[in-house]
Structure 1
């Protein structure tokens, strides 16, 4: 309650006569011998503000005093003609000026009551030089007023009044008043009694132009507390643009030996906005919040604050210890404010024109239930609203009201008056967005949506599970334990400033917080860790999401994802538990590309362990494959259902489907996939051709690469995500043909022995050949319907030709063909090589057009085999 002493917090001081100095000429101002006393009740909020220049509040736009700063307690008030006109301590000055006018009116009332009173009121000039609070008692205070008093007839507007007044004062020369009691009222506030002054006897020279040195000590007593409170409220809220005061008194007057008896005097004084000061500014020099140091067993939070309060006035004051109540706003402005703490101040020595340093301390034992109770019709409590505004750097208001003082020596009237006034203190909050020092996620697990879920429902969203660790730098003033048992949030996920998703953590997640030491940080650190369990990720921008996935899968540099969240936290402190809503938070996650520039297929290393034909038609094959592969990433995933297209040279040939997949980092063994081979349906006639080429290269043992690509139907419950993933393709090398599980699929030698034809035996006498074939199928029999093949020696020299149209079976594993007739080329180089190899083995190549049938499915493939070892027999 800054500068409440500017109001007439007046006391019923002793009315005993005090030594008073008078002079009929100009004299030097004298230094007072007694210490001065200033009534003040400044208090401050318990929240820190970072503004190095302090916080101003109340009537900020009013013109502030610019009195010269001096350490001299007798610094004079300058001549108004040499500086802008304003008044220091206007309420007190107003009273003293009013009293001067009252005295003059009383003095001249004996001669011409009407004209002389008007002359006295208009001609009186009082120039205050120093005002100080002399002493305090249990009933009030004594104020010492020093200045110059004179009459200036030129200020009187009416010539008749001016002439009458000048003549009367020339005749009287000097007058003397007895002890006087003056009441000062507020006509514009229901005529409330502002205060009462007890003046000593005064003798002055009343001749025009003669200066009187005034040095008096007056007893002051406060008046109607309710009226003073109305004035104070208007002043603190910036509504006091004008103030009118009225003084009344009954004074005994004498001039020389003439006594004129008691005269009733009334005088008015109007203060304009420039006469009314603004509330002082303040800055918080120190703030320390910690556990109760006086009694560790007594729960509570102790607050210690050092506040610097501006003082532009030439006043010397000693402020006794005071008590204040700290209140916070309720749900709506009309609700009673909520008391949260009681604080006290030490004795404050205020020096003239120098900032006052006030030490404030208090103890918060508990948080009132009404502070944490949710407001009607809202999700926030009063505490939520206050903290949310503070963290968002919005201006919030706390209230300071006089309370019980810590010392019995503080005058009771002072305490009562302070209790009647409540000061609103606007406070602008911190930006806490930069306090997050580190944000990390480990044990990340992705879950794709349920395929039978309703589209765009929560069950149809991909989910993320992870352990989250957040390193928070706390304000250095916070020196008490804080725990965060639960958190929840809605997190916006951004890539290069573009939002592509929302991570929904609206369900409470268990968490905990602990302080840690970090030599690189000057602030205390709080490590908050919590586990995300199946948090839905709603993709809001498919194009951006596709860019993110491609950058992660195919990029070389870490991908930075920005997070912007509104967090609800359950806070546990010594004062109890409460919930804070919508705390703004931001952070980032660096995702290191797991593959870098290396092909994904080479890192996944898929190997088919087995095939099993499930069903066939004339144009399709439905099969099940058991595959082993590696996951080089640190992430795991649960995939209820996913479907991808398999393409060869850009043409779709099949659908590959995974159901209830659980992928873990490292080796994944025995993972089952289903595939539907359907070249005609997937790619029409081009698909049939591409499918034939793929099967031909496959059985020929050539290096073959297929492409897996998502599509809009990859995730039935999340078509938008499937569409976003459709821009991503993964090339996978098809393992070479071999008996499932025999390890031959790892053979990368293009010149190695073919896998489909294991070996051959050529019988010259019968001109037939028998081949040992290896089938990739463990449970189904493959039929060869027709063979049109040619064997070559040294890659180009024909040996013979097989043209066979009778079907024969190729069962699982290794099997021999029937004796197939061979038309030998007897006149060629190849036949000579065959004769030389009789009884031994001849290496030869083969090219063949083969018709095959698998149950109802039939097709034709082209086989090329190199380095087939054929035994030559009679």
Structure 2
């Protein structure tokens, strides 16, 4: 023991400073069964104590001399005691110690301590804990000096067994070596004389040893009582110093009202965690003395104060023995039964956690422990503690990853769904989840509406391990689709099923809800079923984006219709429409293993060219469809869906981009491919019935032109009739019929279109088409109006350009014109017309068919208005065979000023006629016109020599014409005219 703590005890045991030096020095021996050390204290004649120690091969606890000094002084006297007094030797021993302490008091009043130790160890008591008790004993001795005899020798007491009573009766006369004690011993001897009359010498009772051992034992008991009967400091120490590190926590099995958990870990008392120094000291002393604590069967209850102090659950703990000395580790491995508490209270917590409202949670634990240390029962201890769990400490809802999905037909028209799910379950313990049953629900139209039950599911037993992914197999069965799932939501276009399918196919996060139902096996504990029934858990998962769902998308028999010219711009009637036969090859996911048909389809498609959108194709009406299950080229199953689009409006969103498409179609040499991204609504027929699925994404490429070269070279336009309409002095309207070839596979309906005709980049006329239908291949007798108005179109420049155009055309020159659009090309789509105006379509002037014209069907494309000429030498006149392109109207020639040349430069003669004559439709002969021959020229000689034959000549003429009210003068250049020469 520490010397400072034992000093008052020694003073009280061996006397105070007032003891006489001439007394014999007593010797006290203190021994215990647990120690092999012997401590011998001798008080010498100088009033000082000498300690001598005799120790065997094992260690023991040594008392410090300085701490024992007050105790020795109290028992043997102070420095005033006489040095010649016989030294008393006291030995104190116990059964629990093998150390012996011997104190000798020498003649100088000083104490010498001698320690002898045997081979076993002893645990040292804390000096500070014994100080108060020893001081009390010392004060008792000082208050009763009259009971101390200085002239009597002090007997020696020896307490060598744990069976010796620690508390003596009053009649035992336990004193500290006084006369009263001796007289009682004498009285006892006199009352019991020997039977044979001989008085035998009896061993003296070592009262000082008995007293010392009694005080020491009482001190130990006091420490235990103070530590555990008034456990405030010890409780605080235990709360702060106790450390339990779980090594493994697992659910061993399920029981009828809870689970049986196995807990393995390491328990240690770490005094360094205790901040209060006094609490740490008392706690270390108390736990050192107790050494081990054993708890009997105990109960732990867990409450939630913030939820009406609801009981979450309780745990039944078995008897556990741990070493509570500082730094000593105890391995713990036990089974405990965890029972669920108030299910409704747990439900409220679960709902707050699921909905994200659980920001913090106050958990109160209450443990009722039956404690025992060795043979001492420490009574029932009730420990409580509060733990605050913050939001970041709560486990997250598991995220589901669908590893495998198989949907197939079941009996009686039902559909089975087999799902393999992978999820990371944030569980701190390993557990086995028994077979469970669930209801599968999906969201309704509005968040406040009740969820829709769509399927029942069951799982087999699942093993969950901390920190590992958990694979769960789920078997689901869909008996039928409820009406609430397929009905259109109020104020919306889709149903709850549409929203679910669309989110899944687009690869978006989808949420389904799982609620507990009847368990598939009877051995599933009822409390688990009741708890799961009370909780609906949202399970978000990410669908698979079906980007390659549409493997092929083609449009055939495509027909474009221009809008009504009288429709208001941006109105539905102002949009062009598209009709076509669409074929879609849909790749069936491998998860779909059931019969499916698509009887009707509708879609809203965005049309792109070079990754830019230029229009929206709105197929708003249900289109009848046929679906056929086929094998694709790669051997996978596919569904071929065919349906016809009838006059679906095409909303042009980018006129300029559409103009690029048309230009690429007309002038490009490469294939023009459009991309169509559609949202498709289908009516699906399965074993569950017929229902609509909306919002299915579909995408495909549509080639609108294959590489066929320049289509303009294949048009081959030809005017088959010209009919004069209204005319003015500067304009005329001619109704025509034309034949041409459409080299594409597309057809079109044109209610109205107006285009400009330019010659040398100057507008001279309009061509207008009304209510025409164009198809692939040859198109015949297409009515087209030709409005000649050079003055109105471009003023004086237009007149000059128009005259030049006419002159070039009637002169059989290779004449080309330019056709382009303008803002009013399509009145209801002014923007499109303006965008298309950048396209200049240059074509040769169409050949005009003239009935009865020789060689009209021989493929000669050059127009010939003068087919033949005859010169009469004697009358000096000329006659011409003329052709008129008009089919019903006459052309009036008002004047002719013409000159004929031989070999380009030699004049033959001149015609200057101002007598009008008419040119009827078709082939006609002109009247004989007077010719002023150049008699002295080379040309005349050539003419005479060709008499009776033909002479090839050129001609230049200014011809005044009158077509209705239209008046103009055209310039004619004729080359290689074979003129007959007659007499």
Task: Give the structure-1-normalised TM-score.
Answer: 0.79
Q: Distance in 1 between matches of 2:496 and 2:562?
A: 40
Match of 1:808 in 2: 917
Kindly indicate whether residue 722 of structure 2 is the aligned counterpart of residue 722 of structure 1.
no
Q: Distance in 2 between matches of 1:811 and 1:468?
A: 53
CA change 1:117–1:699 in 2 (3 A) is closer
Kindly indicate whether residue 633 of structure 2 is the aligned counterpart of residue 519 of structure 1.
yes
How far off is 1:240 after superposition? 5.3
Q: Distance in 2 between matches of 1:801 and 1:794?
A: 15
Q: Secondary structure at the match of 1:543?
A: helix
Q: Secondary structure at the match of 2:445?
A: coil
CA change 1:571–1:212 in 2 (3 A) is same
Q: Secondary structure at the match of 1:682?
A: helix
Kindly indicate whether residue 338 of structure 2 is the aligned counterpart of residue 230 of structure 1.
no
Kindly indicate whether residue 395 of structure 2 is the aligned counterpart of residue 278 of structure 1.
yes
CA change 1:140–1:651 in 2 (3 A) is closer
8 Å CA contact 2:398, 2:539 repeated in 1:
no
- Larger deviation: 399-408 or 331-340? 331-340
Q: Distance in 2 between matches of 1:203 and 1:734?
A: 114
Match of 2:12 in 1: none
Larger radius of gyration: 2
In structure 2, which of residues 244, 259, 265 is the aligned counterpart of residue 141 of structure 1? 259
Match of 1:589 in 2: 702
In structure 2, which of residues 389, 399, 422 is the aligned counterpart of residue 307 of structure 1? 422
Q: Distance in 2 between matches of 1:790 and 1:554?
A: 43
Q: Distance in 2 between matches of 1:775 and 1:426?
A: 82
8 Å CA contact 2:399, 2:541 repeated in 1:
no
How far off is 1:648 after superposition? 2.0
In structure 2, which of residues 313, 326, 331 is the aligned counterpart of residue 195 of structure 1? 313
Kindly indicate whether residue 619 of structure 2 is the aligned counterpart of residue 537 of structure 1.
no
Q: Distance in 1 between matches of 2:940 and 2:442?
A: 107
Kindly indicate whether residue 565 of structure 2 is the aligned counterpart of residue 454 of structure 1.
no
In structure 1, which of residues 833, 841, 847 is the aligned counterpart of residue 942 of structure 2? 833
Match of 1:332 in 2: 446
Match of 1:265 in 2: 382
8 Å CA contact 1:698, 1:737 repeated in 2:
no
Match of 2:792 in 1: 681
Structure 2 matches for 1:273-422, cutoff 5 A?
273=390, 276=393, 278-279=395-396, 284=401, 286-293=403-410, 295=411, 297-307=412-422, 309=424, 315=430, 317-349=431-463, 355-422=469-536
How far off is 1:594 after superposition? 6.9
8 Å CA contact 1:738, 1:775 repeated in 2:
no
Match of 1:186 in 2: 304
Structure 2 matches for 1:480-559, cutoff 5 A?
480-520=594-634, 524-559=637-672
Q: Distance in 2 between matches of 1:265 and 1:396?
A: 49
Kindly indicate whether residue 979 of structure 2 is the aligned counterpart of residue 870 of structure 1.
yes
Match of 1:786 in 2: 895
Match of 2:19 in 1: none
CA change 1:179–1:446 in 2 (3 A) is same
What are the superposed Cα offsets for residues 246-300 of structure 1, whole Å, 9 maximum, x if unpaired?
3446555556666676x3624214254599463486664632222234x2x4232
Match of 1:760 in 2: 869
Match of 2:740 in 1: 629
Q: Distance in 2 between matches of 1:259 and 1:375?
A: 72
Match of 2:85 in 1: none
CA change 1:790–1:199 in 2 (3 A) is closer
Q: Distance in 2 between matches of 1:739 and 1:258?
A: 136
Q: Distance in 2 between matches of 1:682 and 1:240?
A: 79
How far off is 1:225 after superposition? 0.9
> Size of the alignment, in residue pairs?
760
Match of 2:150 in 1: none
Q: Distance in 1 between matches of 2:511 and 2:623?
A: 32
In structure 1, which of residues 477, 488, 501 is the aligned counterpart of residue 591 of structure 2? 477
CA change 1:123–1:649 in 2 (3 A) is closer
Q: Distance in 2 between matches of 1:205 and 1:693?
A: 121
What are the superposed Cα offsets for residues 427-449 of structure 1, whole Å, 9 maximum, x if unpaired?
23433345443332221111111
Q: Secondary structure at the match of 2:646?
A: strand
8 Å CA contact 2:585, 2:640 repeated in 1:
yes
Q: Secondary structure at the match of 1:188?
A: helix
How far off is 1:638 after superposition? 0.4
Q: Distance in 2 between matches of 1:569 and 1:381?
A: 13
Q: Secondary structure at the match of 1:728?
A: coil
Superposition CA RMSD, Å: 3.4
CA change 1:314–1:198 in 2 (3 A) is closer
CA change 1:462–1:269 in 2 (3 A) is same
Kindly indicate whether residue 805 of structure 2 is the aligned counterpart of residue 694 of structure 1.
yes
Q: Secondary structure at the match of 2:745?
A: coil
Q: Distance in 1 between matches of 2:408 and 2:629?
A: 15
CA change 1:279–1:706 in 2 (3 A) is closer
- Larger deviation: 863-872 or 448-457? 863-872
Match of 1:78 in 2: none
How far off is 1:578 after superposition? 4.4
How far off is 1:830 after superposition? 2.9
Q: Secondary structure at the match of 1:691?
A: helix
CA change 1:580–1:692 in 2 (3 A) is same
Q: Distance in 2 between matches of 1:735 and 1:128?
A: 98
Match of 1:219 in 2: 337
CA change 1:642–1:240 in 2 (3 A) is closer
Q: Distance in 2 between matches of 1:867 and 1:211?
A: 127
What are the superposed Cα offsets for residues 581-614 of structure 1, whole Å, 9 maximum, x if unpaired?
555554443332676346x2x3211112122222
How far off is 1:301 after superposition? 3.9
8 Å CA contact 1:736, 1:744 repeated in 2:
no
What are the superposed Cα offsets for residues 492-527 of structure 1, whole Å, 9 maximum, x if unpaired?
333334433333333444445444322337x64343
Match of 2:815 in 1: 704
8 Å CA contact 1:107, 1:177 repeated in 2:
no
Q: Distance in 1 between matches of 2:710 and 2:265?
A: 89
Match of 2:777 in 1: 666
CA change 1:347–1:775 in 2 (3 A) is same
What are the superposed Cα offsets for residues 526-579 of structure 1, whole Å, 9 maximum, x if unpaired?
434433222222333333332222222112222333444444444444434444
How far off is 1:224 after superposition? 0.7
What are the superposed Cα offsets for residues 220-254 of structure 1, whole Å, 9 maximum, x if unpaired?
32111122233334455566565443344655555
Q: Which runs of 5+ in 1 are unaligned?
A: 1-105
Match of 2:845 in 1: 734
Kindly indicate whether residue 951 of structure 2 is the aligned counterpart of residue 842 of structure 1.
yes
8 Å CA contact 1:555, 1:593 repeated in 2:
no
How far off is 1:668 after superposition? 0.7
Match of 1:72 in 2: none
Q: Distance in 2 between matches of 1:835 and 1:206?
A: 151
Q: Distance in 1 between matches of 2:832 and 2:769?
A: 17
Q: Distance in 1 between matches of 2:773 and 2:743?
A: 15
Kindly indicate whether residue 722 of structure 2 is the aligned counterpart of residue 611 of structure 1.
yes
How far off is 1:739 after superposition? 2.3
Kindly indicate whether residue 678 of structure 2 is the aligned counterpart of residue 561 of structure 1.
no
What are the superposed Cα offsets for residues 799-840 of structure 1, whole Å, 9 maximum, x if unpaired?
333222222222223332223223333333333333333333
What are the superposed Cα offsets for residues 174-202 of structure 1, whole Å, 9 maximum, x if unpaired?
56554444433222322111212333445
CA change 1:172–1:690 in 2 (3 A) is closer
8 Å CA contact 1:485, 1:511 repeated in 2:
yes
Match of 2:84 in 1: none
